[in-house]
Amino acid sequence: MAPMSLLTYQDVRPWARSIKAKVSSREMPPWFIDKHVGIQKFKNDPSLTDDEIATMVKWVDDGAPQGNLADMPPPRNFSDLDTWHIKPDVVFKTPKPYILKAQGPDEFVDVTIDPGFKEDVYISAVETKPVEAATFKVIHHATTNLIEDDDDPTGLFLNEYAVGKGADVFPPNSGRLIKAGSKINFNLHLHPDGEQTSVQIAIGLKLFPKGDVPKYVAFHSCPN
Ligand code: HEM
């Protein structure tokens, strides 16, 4: 989603001066916690330490050299687009692909499905993601909501897919209740990208064993 790739030296080199500016001002990598006030310790904090920033700034000031190729670590492997980051027990898809036009304004599409839960279930993890690789290019977000009551079509926020998002995994012995009969609404924000694109989204749920009730039940989703 960034304007450029930073995977190789050749990708990075033209951006060196801009990287120095964005990293030393803490605009990049994105992390919206003020470093000078309030709580500073967060799980999964991706922000850079002062030392890391100083290293990058010095590298740019030294002319952004490639260095000794023998010292280069192997490139990082990213998971395939169709990989689930949890092992879902059940997967529900939007029933048929939505065909997004090649051109036009952004579209917001709502699709409600009935997962068919006849009894209350608790989930320990949830992940939402596109089914086909092509969809990733046009999807800004896909949020899912639980509709417990048809008179309240907004429902309760469950989970979201957006660029870079993995799964929400609840801490041990905690989870989320899906009441019997609940429906799942997908809200899709789509951005036409010059090619007609088929859009289909799936939600995967990891379930507590039948009859198990977690000690802590989250009301909204609780990303871990
Ligand atoms: C150390 C890691 C990173 C570095 C060095 C970096 C560097 C940069 C630089 C130099 C720009 C300015 C590009 C321009 O002038 O057009 C930029 C923009 C941007 N980056 Fe990063 N970035 C990092 C991590 C990330 C991550 C993790 C994300 C997404 C999760 C991200 C998303 C973006 C976006 C969306 C923009 C465009 C912002 C805008 O136009 O307002 N970057 N980044």
Residue-wise pLDDT tens digits, 197-222: 999 999 999 999 999 999 999 876 44
Q: The domain containing residue 111 runs over which residues?
A: 90-218
Q: How many CB atoms lie within 10 A of CB 200?
A: 18
Q: Which of 40, 71, 102 is the last residue of a domain?
A: 71
| 62 & 95 share domain | no
Residues 60, 113, single domain; the answer is: no
> Is 191's C-beta closer than 6 angstroms to any atom of ligand 1?
no
Q: What is the pLDDT of residue 75?
A: 87
Q: How many alpha carbons lie under 13 Å from residue 37 in its C-beta half-sphere?
A: 2
Domain endpoint, select from 41, 71, 101: 71
Residues 29 and 136 in one domain: no
Stated as kind and residue range, the H or E segment containing 55 is helix 50-61
Q: Do 95 and 65 lie in a common domain?
A: no
Q: Would you state the pLDDT for residue 222? A: 42
pLDDT in tens, 26-58: 999 999 898 889 999 998 899 999 999 999 999
Please say whether the beta carbons of 206 and 86 come within 8 A.
yes
Q: Is residue 223 part of a domain?
A: no
- Do residues 110 and 185 lie in contact, with contact meaning Cβ atoms separated by under 8 Å? yes
Whose CA is closest to 21, among 76, 51, 61, 49? 61
The answer to whether residue 78 is domain-embedded is no
Phi and psi based region of residue 22 (left: phi greater than 0; alpha: psi -120 to 50; beta: remaining): alpha
pLDDT at 221: 47
- Same domain, residue pair 192 and 110: yes
pLDDT of residue 198: 96
Separation between Cα atoms, residue 55 and residue 1, nearest integer Å: 25
Any idea what the Cα angle at residue 188 is, between residues 166 and 110, rounded to 5°?
A: 130
63 and 95 together in one domain: no
Output the CA 125–ligand 1 centroid distance in Å: 29
**Cα angle value 186/127/182 (rounded, 5°):** 50
Same structural domain, 67 and 95: no
Q: What's the total number of domains in the chain?
A: 2
**One domain, residues 208 and 146:** yes
Residues 116 and 208 in one domain: yes
Give domain status of residue 159, yes or no: yes
Closest CA to 121 of 177, 81, 74, 159: 177
Q: Can you give the CATH number for the domain in which 179 is found?
A: 2.60.120.310
Rounded Cα distance between 177 and 205, Å, is 12
Same domain, 63 and 142: no
117 part of a folded domain:
yes
pLDDT tens, position by position, for the chain (224 residues)? 788 999 999 999 999 999 999 999 999 999 989 888 999 999 889 999 999 999 999 999 999 999 999 999 998 888 888 899 999 999 999 999 999 999 999 999 999 999 999 999 999 999 999 998 889 999 999 999 999 988 887 889 999 999 888 899 999 999 999 999 999 999 999 999 999 999 999 999 999 999 999 999 987 644 43
By DSSP bridging, strand 139-147 and strand 183-190 are antiparallel
For strands 174-178 and 216-218, give the pairing. Answer: parallel
52 CA to centre of ligand 1 in angstroms: 16
Give yes or no for a contact between 142 and 188, defined as CB atoms under 8 angstroms apart.
Answer: yes
Question: What is the Å distance from ligand 1's center to 178 Cα?
Answer: 37
In this structure, the chain runs to a length of: 224
pLDDT at position 106, please? 98
Which atom of ligand 1 sits closest to the CA of residue 18? 10
- The whole-angstrom separation of Cα 185 and Cα 69 is 50
User: Ligand 1 mean position to 141 CA, how many Å?
Assistant: 19
Q: Does residue 49 lie in a domain region? A: yes
Q: For residue 138, is it within any domain?
A: yes
For a mutational test of ligand 1's pocket, the pick from 22, 23, 27, 163, i.e. the residue with the most ligand atoms closer than 8 A to its C-beta, is 22
Residues 139 and 52 in one domain: no
Residue 41 resides in a domain: yes
Domain boundary (71, 104, 121) is at 71
The answer to the question of residue 185 being in a domain is: yes
